[in-house]
Every structure is written in structure tokens, then in C-alpha cells.
Amino acid sequence: MENGQDQAKQFEGQESPIQQLDIAGQDDHNDVTTGTAASVQNEPPQDDNCPPKVDSEVEILHEKVTKQIIKEGHGQKPANFSTCFLHYRAWVKKSLHKFEDTWQEQQPLELVLGKEKKQMVGLGIGVASMKSGERALFHVGWELAYGEEGSFSFPNVPPSADLIYEAELIGFDEFKEGKARSDMTVEERIEAADRRKIEGNTYFKEEKLEEAMQQYEMAVAYMGDDFMFQLFGKYRDMALAVKNPCHLNMAACLIKLKRHEEAIGQCSIVLSEDENNVKALFRRGKARSELGQTDAAREDFQKAKKFAPQDKAILRELRLLAEHDRAVYQKQKEIYKGIFGPRPEPKPQRKNRFLVFWLWLVSLFSRLFKLQRQKED
């Protein structure tokens, strides 16, 4: 495992096309290269409360399972006993009640083909027909789902309910014994995640962004919240050394794909573990800047600058924000000037000639009156 980590660190420290994302600078920022393919983390259609409408051909996988492809995958299909990682949404076919959504929970499902729970047999048949990165719609009969009894706890599924699944296969590991994450030792899970991370780096070198994103997400799946919660000391440090770079690499890709909200989320995950992580602060600041959240971006860049005061990339972004502020101020100044126009010059008031003459006359009579009084005295 140490050799694998050394290889990954060596890759992370190299100069790469990440400079195209304006995330260049010292080696601390150079985690990944970039590409143009769509990411495996693409969300399904915005209206995710109902199953998506699919026009592709219906494939019969089983008497009680049909399939329609939404997005093509790549590579091989998982063999029996493979450990598959997938996201899915599930609806009761009759009422269209959605009862489960792993995308919303941000926690992929782990499914060992051939060892599924009886409620997942139909979904397992569907997953066995998929390639990595593939997204598909499955119709599953109640006999291969929650049966005549249904489920009255969680999830809530009525009796004899046919189901609809929208599923995306992130990827899979092939183990002859069908070993699930829960059956692995801490070292085995960290090693499995580290292998995925290294494979992701390799795909990045080849500019295969979609495949790389799948590898990183699978690595993170091995480091689930339930697993991390149990770790402490050196084991937690080992796990974070694999997990955090995966989140940072995904953030860099998401910025390139202009999916800035998701990039912010990936960086925030790292910052929840390491609030002073310069890479996470920098990339979150970059994503916020692209969204126009200049105050929040400036805060991230300034905090990153505390720990890397000479970093040229950070200084450049702060300078760009300052220039942006000046441009906005100047534009507002021009707008207000156009609305109100130039301030008018004060006009000299024209004096009333009659009033001036009258005052002069009164003054004259007053003086004459005073002189007359003086002579009489």
C-alpha cells in the first residue's frame, strides 16, 4: 500500500493541465489533470420525484424485470459475486410514490451480486446487465422485490407492489468470494480505496474524465461515514490521506465542468475534516467566485493566503476580485451619473430694480431726516 500512496503523491505533485482551470501555483494545488467528458455524478433529470421518460428500446432481462438504457456505460459488465456501487431511485409503480433516493442521501448502495437481500433480487438482475457509468430504468415485479408482505417500516412499500428503479452503476470490484465492505478489515478497505484513487489518477493522465470520476467516487464509497466514524489515530489519518484528495480532485473537475455548486460541496467535505486545507479553500473560493459569491470567495482566498502567503495563484485570484470590485464600482458610478445627470450650476439671482431703488430712496430720506434733526438740535 505504501508504494501505491507514493505513486499517487508523485502524480499529485507533478505539473499538469490543471493550470487551465486557473488553479495553478505551487505543487499544493496540482492534484489532477482535466478533461471534457461528462462526469458520472451528473444528476438525473431535475424532476426527480417521478420516474424519467425514456424512449429507448425495452429489453427483457427476466420474466419480471425489464430494462431501458438512459445513458450508455463503458467497459465490462460485473460478474457474479462482484461488489457493485450504485446510485438509485425507487418508486411504487402504481402510485409513483418515491420511497428511496441514494442521490439525495449522498450515500451509494453497495450490492454484492448473487448475495443480495431478497428485496433487491430484481434490482440485482438489472445491475448485472449494466456497464460502469451506465444509467438505466428498470421495471421489477413484486415477486422479485418486497413480495406479498411489502414493508411497513423503512422503506414503506405496500404489499404486492411492482417497482420502478432508476439506477446508475458507479463501478464494481470483482472478488471471487463476493466480499462486502463490512467483511473487510480496515487495512483492506483503505487499500481498496487507494487502488481506486491511483486508477483515477491514471485515467486523468489519459484525459478520461468520466472514468476517473467513477474511480474517485468508488474510493470515497469505501470510506463511508459509518466507516470513518469508527476510525481514530493512525487509521483515521491513513483513510483521510486517501479520501480527501479524491474529493479535491473531483472538485477540480467539477469546476472545469462549470458545476460549481457541486465543487463547493466536495471542498466543504474536506474542510469539515481539515478547516485549514489550502487546496480546499482555494478551490471553494474559485467555485464561489465563478458563481458571483465574491465576498465568500474573498474570505476563502484570504484564509488560504494565511497558510500560503507567497502562492501566486491565491494572490492572482485576490487581485482579480479587487479588479472586479473596482469595475463594479465604476459601472455603478456611471449608471447613477446617467440617471441623475450632472449637478446643475447655481444661477445668480437677478435683483429686483424697483426694490433696489426703493431701498435707496428710503435710505436717502433717512439720512436727510437725521441731518435735519441735527440742525434743529
- Evaluate if residue 11 carries a pLDDT over 50: no
- Evaluate if residue 43 carries a pLDDT over 50: no
**Is 27 domain-assigned?**
yes
Assess whether 107 and 220 both reside in one domain: no
- Evaluate if residue 115 carries a pLDDT over 80: yes
Q: What is the domain-level CATH number for residue 150? A: 3.10.50.40
**Is 334 domain-assigned?**
no
Q: What is the pLDDT of residue 344?
A: 60
Assess whether 126 and 200 both reside in one domain: no
**Is 364 domain-assigned?**
no
Q: What average pLDDT is seen over the chain?
A: 81
Per-residue pLDDT reduced to its tens digit, 67-108: 999 999 988 899 888 889 999 999 999 999 999 999 888 788
Assess whether 158 and 282 both reside in one domain: no
Rounded Cα distance, 29 and 13, in Å:
8
- Evaluate if residue 263 carries a pLDDT over 60: yes
Element (H, E) at 110: strand 109-112
Assess whether 188 and 275 both reside in one domain: yes
- Evaluate if residue 15 carries a pLDDT over 90: no
Residue 204 in grid coordinates: 486523468
**Is 14 domain-assigned?**
no
- Evaluate if residue 149 carries a pLDDT over 70: yes
Eight-class DSSP state of 322: H
Q: What is the pLDDT of residue 94?
A: 94
Assess whether 204 and 312 both reside in one domain: yes
Per-residue pLDDT reduced to its tens digit, 319-337: 999 998 888 888 877 777 6
Q: For the residues 153-178, what does the mean pLDDT come to? A: 87
Q: What is the pLDDT of residue 18?
A: 30
- For residues 210 and 133, is the Cβ–Cβ distance under 8 A? yes
Assess whether 153 and 221 both reside in one domain: no
Segment among 130-134, 140-144, 230-234, 359-363 with least mean pLDDT: 359-363
**Is 264 domain-assigned?**
yes
Among 87, 160, 176, CA closest to 127: 87
Assess whether 265 and 159 both reside in one domain: no
CA–chain centroid gap for 115, Å, is 33
List Cβ neighbours of 245 (8 Å cut-off, separation of 6 or more): 8, 12, 31, 197
List Cβ neighbours of 343 (8 Å cut-off, separation of 6 or more): none
Question: Hey, how many other C-beta atoms are within 10 angstroms of the C-beta on 157?
Answer: 23
Share of the chain above pLDDT 90, in %: 43
- Evaluate if residue 302 carries a pLDDT over 80: yes
Domain extent for 35: 19-40+184-320
Q: What is the pLDDT of residue 178?
A: 57
The number of distinct structural domains making up the chain is 2
Q: What is the domain-level CATH number for residue 35? A: 1.25.40.10
Rounded Cα distance, 5 and 238, in Å:
10
Q: What is the pLDDT of residue 373?
A: 75
Instruction: Say which amino acid occupies 154.
Output: F
Domain boundary at 320, 344, 361, which?
Answer: 320
- For residues 198 and 164, is the Cβ–Cβ distance under 8 A? no
Instruction: Say which amino acid occupies 222.
Output: Y
Rounded Cα distance, 73 and 40, in Å:
10
Residue 256 in grid coordinates: 472545469
Assess whether 300 and 189 both reside in one domain: yes
Among 153, 82, 76, 159, CA closest to 124: 82
Comparing 46 with 363, which gets the higher pLDDT?
363
Segment among 103-112, 164-173, 288-297 with least mean pLDDT: 103-112
- Evaluate if residue 165 carries a pLDDT over 90: yes
Domain boundary at 174, 208, 241, which?
Answer: 174
Assess whether 84 and 195 both reside in one domain: no
Q: What is the pLDDT of residue 265?
A: 92
Confidence tier at 157 by pLDDT (50, 70, 90): very high
Among 109, 71, 75, 74, CA closest to 89: 109
Assess whether 189 and 316 both reside in one domain: yes
Confidence tier at 188 by pLDDT (50, 70, 90): confident
Query: What is the model's pTM?
Result: 0.63
CA–chain centroid gap for 129, Å, is 29
Confidence tier at 14 by pLDDT (50, 70, 90): very low
Beta bridge partners of 111: 84
Element (H, E) at 148: none
The three-class DSSP label of residue 259 is: coil
Share of the chain above pLDDT 70, in %: 82
Assess whether 170 and 191 both reside in one domain: no
**Is 53 domain-assigned?**
no
Among 128, 110, 116, CA closest to 221: 110
**Is 48 domain-assigned?**
no
- Evaluate if residue 45 carries a pLDDT over 50: no
Per-residue pLDDT reduced to its tens digit, 195-247: 888 888 787 777 777 777 788 888 888 887 778 888 888 888 999 999 999 99
Which range among 43-57, 122-136, 247-261 has the greatest average pLDDT? Answer: 122-136
Which range among 7-11, 12-16, 78-82, 313-317 has the greatest average pLDDT? Answer: 313-317
Q: What is the pLDDT of residue 363?
A: 79
Q: What is the pLDDT of residue 6?
A: 42
**Is 342 domain-assigned?**
no
Assess whether 80 and 148 both reside in one domain: yes
